[in-house]
Structure 1
């Protein structure tokens, strides 16, 4: 017995608390669509890093070591000094950095060092210095290239970088709207689960009423106030109600799995969902008023809807790309300023290596400028790209306008559903109250023989239907609240720590300035 109790306690502890805020928060860790949308933002961030790489400092270097042997012709006078083979050793080293500036210029600074010697005992001045006498040269080069037409200016050179930033914002806004939509689906699934749970209770209550009628009928038959054949009708009605209860329990099972699926739970985890804790919102809780204006919700949606903001970022990005494409149709005319400083030294030893850059003898300095011009005669590539980006810009405007149109339609529909759901809920409550009174009166009439069993069963069924319809009206009202929240972009909120969900989002309509 203790073992059984322990197992039951363990199972009870493993239940997942089923409240709206808890399961909505769990969805951020479990729901695959929400997890994937985070990767989209990260991917956009990686694209931005790629575009930043255009302005990275790029270093380069090279090292060359070469040993050559040249067999001299017999008539070569150098044979008497090098024994018919001229041996030459060469070493070259270069290093530099290159960077493209956001203002459009490209800078390049490099250092080149060269060393060579040979077994020929004469230097370039025909002086006898001995074999393998070293010759050192060092040069520092600097260049600055300024585009004059294509690629000129920060507005052009940083387009791709700024476009990537806009697409990061686009991804974030799309992620926000995706989160809102998934929370909306969780809200729908929760209220459906809650309704299914309450439906089971209603059918069980109905079973209890039928059993109560069965007991009354048996007593009346014993008192010879009702015919014995009435019991058959009651038993048939009881069997039918038990069937409906089984169907309601099946619907509850399905609703639990659907809620788990909306959260992102597995089948096993979904089965651990506990009974729903949150009741339906009341009309007073919702802060609903009869004087609500649809236009205020439309205005709110234009300010808050994340998908509208996301498409706006795409349009801004395409506008920037259009300016870049227009710039690329111009010729490329670059002006490059050049400067170099170098020196040379002769001799062996490490001191000669370093003095090759500072030696006064052999010093060489130069400055200059280069103008380069490039322009495809037909320029079809640039013209084609400009045409495509303009088409994309016009197409995006159609997409933006269409979304704006759909938002207006959806707000109108959501607002109308809210108004109707309030009216339906009020009428359903009125009908339920009247059916409860009517059924109670019919029970009393049946006990005194003033009405028939058939009438009692009919009023009982009407009461059950009224209870179910009242519950359905409440579900419609609760769904209308969160749907209007989603359509106006106020279902979830975001701060620097991430997305937050307030329980008021499930219980009250969005508040406007009016």
Structure 2
């Protein structure tokens, strides 16, 4: 017998273990943690952060070193005119070969200057046996030329100064911050949706229990009435009425089961689960919050909550970053209205050498004869006469600044309105919850008394059934009141930006966020 009991116990443990492995624990903190990795809106907003980071890298490319180079080989044949005196020394045509190599390194600094270093080498020969000084050197005697140049350009009007030169980079950095704050707000909003869906699931779960209990009460009433009919204390017709009521209660229980199924899948949808994964959600693990432990105070200051929202809400922080970015774009558009006037200073060094061979190639840069050293400066002016592009972009940017201010003010207005609504909902939900609890207690007492009176023949079946329905309705209303209070807490948390905590890009739900109102000092 002991061996059988032990074997049965082992089977129970194994079954429970397998069951727990196939189920997803429906705990508010755990399902919220799952959502941070699976919710599509959260994932999409995170990708927007990464995209903004790539945008900064693109803007930083403006200040990259740029190396350009080219190599040219050219071979030509030129038929001389009969009157050309070179016919005396060569047989037409005039043949020539040239090899040219050029490279330049360009760098734009964040202080707006542009520096350039360039190198140019040219080798050229022909079958004409005389050089430029009419000296006989023989056919295909090479000429080598090498030049090194350095220039530094300073914009004087358009594009002048570090503030303008780095505008694109600063705008991109602002959009990184903006997307980080959007990510923060999206997390809060999605956790809010999960909280609302969870409380709907929990309400549906508890409501089904109420309907099952109510169905049990009707069955008990049917059994009681059967006994009373057998004892000739109640008419046979009462059984038909109770059977009709039982059938209706069975219908309501089926509807409650359907509501529970829908609520489970909607919770899975909010988390980011598939249909199969949503079916694995276990029974709800968290009960409704209690008013006494929630930290609710009837004299809460709405202005304190509004101040908290201004300090914590990610969407408000994001809109401020967008406003800064739009302002920078406006400053850049204003600068682009100016003509482009650039001052360039340059120095160069070059020399030439004659002859064939690799040693002549290198000596072209250091050969004393034919050496050329110089420097200078130049002014470059460019300005489109109509300048429609710059004027149009300036107008667009100016309007964008004004529009952004409207958007920002509107968001601030809606936040204040939403917090007023949330605090009012919280206060009313507490009052409704207290009244619903009192009402349920009175209806339960009245139903119990009516049962006793029915057994004693002091009341009718119709009255008993009415009190039973009212008691069931009061239970459901109490559940709805608890759900409303629970929703009011997390809604106020979301509106004040105190629902999730942020560490870099890692988020977690603030401890007791689903159970306590924001504690703001």
* TM-score band w.r.t. shorter chain: over 0.9
Give structure 2 stretches of 5+ with no counterpart: 1-7
Aligned residue in 1 for 2:216: 208
Query: How far 1:454 moved relative to its partner?
Result: 1.9
Aligned partners of 1:113 and 1:139 also within 8 Å: yes
Give structure 1 stretches of 5+ with no counterpart: none
Matched residues in 2 for 1:210 and 1:380: separation?
83
Query: How far 1:77 moved relative to its partner?
Result: 3.4
Aligned partners of 2:498 and 2:510 also within 8 Å: no
Q: 2:463 aligns with which of 440, 447, 455?
A: 455
Whether 1:34 and 2:42 are equivalent positions in the alignment is: yes
Runs of 4+ in 1 over 4 A off after TM superposition: 4-12
Deviates more, 1:389-398 or 1:224-233: 224-233
Aligned residue in 2 for 1:163: 171
SS in 1 for 2:145: strand
Matched residues in 1 for 2:225 and 2:21: separation?
45
Matched residues in 1 for 2:230 and 2:335: separation?
101
Query: How far 1:83 moved relative to its partner?
Result: 2.3
Deviations 1:423-450 (A, max 9, x none): 1111111111222222222222222222
SS in 2 for 1:507: coil
SS in 2 for 1:506: coil
1:188-267 correspondence to structure 2 within 5 Å: 188-267=196-275
Aligned partners of 1:15 and 1:272 also within 8 Å: yes
Q: 2:514 aligns with which of 496, 506, 514?
A: 506
- How many corresponding residue pairs? 511
Q: 1:397 aligns with which of 383, 388, 405?
A: 405
Q: 1:128 aligns with which of 117, 136, 145?
A: 136
Whether 1:53 and 2:61 are equivalent positions in the alignment is: yes
Aligned partners of 1:193 and 1:259 also within 8 Å: yes
Whether 1:373 and 2:381 are equivalent positions in the alignment is: yes
Whether 1:67 and 2:46 are equivalent positions in the alignment is: no
Whether 1:336 and 2:331 are equivalent positions in the alignment is: no
Deviations 1:36-94 (A, max 9, x none): 21222222223222222211111100101111122233343333432223221101001
Matched residues in 2 for 1:390 and 1:381: separation?
14
Matched residues in 2 for 1:385 and 1:79: separation?
63
TM-score using structure 2 length:
0.94
Q: 2:417 aligns with which of 409, 420, 424?
A: 409
Query: How far 1:511 moved relative to its partner?
Result: 1.3
TM-score using structure 1 length:
0.95
Whether 1:477 and 2:481 are equivalent positions in the alignment is: no
Aligned partners of 1:133 and 1:346 also within 8 Å: yes
Matched residues in 2 for 1:421 and 1:334: separation?
69
RMSD over aligned CA atoms reads 1.9
Aligned residue in 2 for 1:103: 111
Deviates more, 1:4-13 or 1:173-182: 4-13
Matched residues in 2 for 1:384 and 1:133: separation?
59
Matched residues in 1 for 2:394 and 2:74: separation?
50
Query: How far 1:503 moved relative to its partner?
Result: 4.3
Matched residues in 2 for 1:393 and 1:28: separation?
34
Aligned partners of 1:170 and 1:314 also within 8 Å: yes
